Chains A and B, each alone.
Chain A
């Protein structure tokens, strides 16, 4: 049995790694991956709580998050593709024009 605080710390680290990735990366696809990392940290959190509370709704929530994350990735990829159509280039690994 893995103890709950350890899992929560792991998920907090994962989440922080995701936050770092979002702030440090300039490539849109990389930022998208970092956001996925954050969402999966949340999933780890929910499942850990769900198992320690002996209650299912956390796992159900995790399923919803996975599905919504997939929809988000779909829209993210669509916008990346659109961005590259407007730049008349088909190479997606050149997205570097984000300035914030």
Chain B
């Protein structure tokens, strides 16, 4: 008789809420294929609220890991899950508005969104490489389909490219997992850490495995040598999907990277930090430089997100509590700004046949002052200009890197920020200074403007009083093992 393992399902309650909601939404969309989508959107928001509530309930748990060491229960996972639920809510609303405006019934969108979020919520808690792999695959497969969801040619080609390169990257991730399994005889992240220090197994094999693991995860957050898919996919995907995936994927995968790097590499931080610094510097430089050359706002934001990934990664060179808190703050402020920015782009681009070239933004300040103001706030935050959260985030991240002694990295980051300020401010200038041309195709409805004011207010409030969440994030910066 094989003993039944302890099934501590409460430990993954937020994940179960999301997956359960996704299954119900999937069944409902099968039976009501042409039904109105408002009930689906409301149901999705309810499922997200339930997941967020159950994540909060886990905040004060004493246990460290559950389900035979497969998932860890700590405040890092709780904070990340809450952020993911918030992003998901905006993604669901933006998607609702996007499809509703063109009367385009695609109710599977909500099921896919919940599945993707479930995978992400699992990823931020994963303490075993099997769970890391499954979670990454669940979120990626859902995102591939969401990219192609409008059935149009551009999105479909983007999905094809995203899918092939994503599957290619997950093969590398798996090869890394296989190597670390061979090195440590276990699939747990802790086992990898032990093997890396040479305690329990083959050290070179573990190092190869860990590096391949970073390649696989680095692809998902579009760090520089692995960023080739980002511009095409961000441009090709429907804007609400881009808003959702650019923010949520980064939160989930970076938190997973915090876990892997902090636990597995904590003991040889001095060995791995230079490699991280190179990846980070490459992403900051290349992302900022290539963004300058773009003539399409979505494509420009895609390259900017490559640069932002580099900024976030630069805090990883210090495996201290401050580094993790800085990364979390950066992720939250980046998410608010990028969800808002793609949301505004969605309203301006005029329906499913998105037109996002720079000419659409010419003179927007005259025609659509509210949208132009909102977009300006988001772009200022992405650029890291003082009264916004982006500035505080950059200060925190560079502070963490400086305290670890990586001042050349901070110097590169500062230069990249200056280059970045140029292309963000150019769009703002385009909206404010130029005369409008052509017909106005922007969406006139007031509700999305109101909803998009929420991330804008968040960005400004976090920029003025970052103290409201920083202590919370520092508490979350402790991993329990």
Cα distance A82–B153 in the bound complex, in angstroms = 9
Contact B174 A49 (CB under 8 A): no
Contact across chains for A39 and B160 when beta carbons are under 8 A apart: no
Measured between alpha carbons, how far is A26 from B152 in the docked complex, in Å? 21
A79 pairs with B130, CB closer than 8 A: no
Say if the beta carbon of A83 comes within 8 Å of chain B: yes
List of B residues within 8 angstroms of A35 by Cβ: 164, 167-168, 171
CB pair A80–B134 under 8 Å, yes or no, is no
Judging by beta carbons under 8 Å apart, are B178 and A80 in contact? Answer: no
Tell me which of B148, B175, B187 contacts A41 (CB under 8 A).
B175
Contact across chains for B133 and A49 when beta carbons are under 8 A apart: no
Give complex CA distance A71, B151 in Å. Answer: 20
Across the interface, name the chain B residue whose C-beta is closest to A12.
B175
Residue in chain A with minimal CB distance to B151: A82
The answer for the CA separation of A35 and B163 in the assembled complex, in Å, is 11
- A45-75 residues with Cβ-Cβ distance < 8 A to B are 45-46, 49, 53, 55, 57-58, 60-61, 64-65, 68, 71-72, 75
Q: How far is the CB of A60 from chain B (nearest CB, A)?
A: 8
Count residues of chain A with CB under 8 A from any CB of chain B.
Answer: 40
Given contacts A86-B153, A87-B153, A100-B161, is CB(A68)–CB(B137) below 8 Å? yes
A86 and B171: CB pair below 8 A? no
Q: Which A residues lie within 8 Å of B148 (CB)? A: 79, 82
Query: Using a CB-CB cutoff of 8 Å, which residues 348-382 of chain B contact chain A?
Result: none
Flag if B141 contacts A49 (CB, 8 Å).
no
Q: Which of A45, A68, A85, A95 contacts B178 (CB 8 A)?
A: A45
Task: Tell me the minimal C-beta distance from B122 to chain A in angstroms.
Answer: 14
Contact B171 A55 (CB under 8 A): no
The interface residues of chain A lying within 8 Å CB-to-CB of B144 are 75, 79
Please determine whether B152 and A86 come into contact, CB atoms closer than 8 angstroms: yes
Question: What is the CB-to-nearest-CB distance from A62 to chain B, in angstroms, rounded to a whole number?
Answer: 9
The verdict on B228 contacting chain A, using a C-beta distance below 8 Å, is yes
Task: Please report the C-alpha to C-alpha distance between residue A31 and residue B159 in the assembled complex, in whole angstroms.
Answer: 14
Cβ-based interface call for B347 (8 A): no
- Cβ–Cβ contact B159 & A79, under 8 A: yes
A72–B174 CA distance with the chains assembled, in angstroms:
14
Report chain A residues within 8 Å CB of B165. Answer: 100
Given A35-B164, A45-B182, A53-B185, A79:B175 Cβ within 8 A: no
Q: Kindly provide the distance from the CB of A51 to the nearest chain B CB, expressed in whole angstroms.
A: 11
- A71–B137 CB distance below 8 A: yes
A1 cross-chain contacts in B, Cβ below 8 A: none
Q: Is A61 in contact with B187, judged by CB distance below 8 angstroms? A: yes
Say if the beta carbon of B100 comes within 8 Å of chain A: no
B161 touches A98 (CB 8 A): yes
Is there contact, CB below 8 Å, between B156 and A83?
Answer: yes
Does B219 count as interface, using CB distance less than 8 angstroms?
Answer: no
B424 within 8 A of A: no
CB contacts (< 8 Å) of A39 on chain B: these are 171, 174
- In angstroms, Cα B175 to Cα A45, docked, is 8
Instruction: Quote the shortest CB–CB distance from B185 to chain A (angstroms).
Output: 5
A-B contact pairs, 8 of them (CB 8 A): A18-B171, A32-B164, A42-B171, A75-B145, A76-B163, A78-B145, A79-B160, A86-B151
With A35-B168, A58-B178, A86-B156 given, can you name 18 additional A-B contacts, CB distance below 8 Å? Answer: A22-B168, A32-B164, A35-B167, A41-B175, A42-B175, A58-B187, A61-B181, A61-B187, A75-B144, A79-B156, A79-B159, A80-B160, A82-B159, A83-B160, A85-B151, A98-B161, A98-B164, A100-B165
Q: Chain A interface (Cβ within 8 Å of chain B)?
A: 8, 15, 18, 22, 28, 31-32, 35, 38-39, 41-42, 45-46, 49, 53, 55, 57-58, 60-61, 64-65, 68, 71-72, 75-76, 78-80, 82-83, 85-87, 95, 97-98, 100
**Interface of B with A (CB < 8 Å)?**
130, 133-134, 137, 141, 144-145, 148, 151-153, 156-157, 159-161, 163-165, 167-168, 171, 174-175, 177-179, 181-182, 185-187, 228
Interface pairs A-B: 5 shortest CB-CB: A38-B171, A49-B182, A45-B178, A86-B153, A42-B174
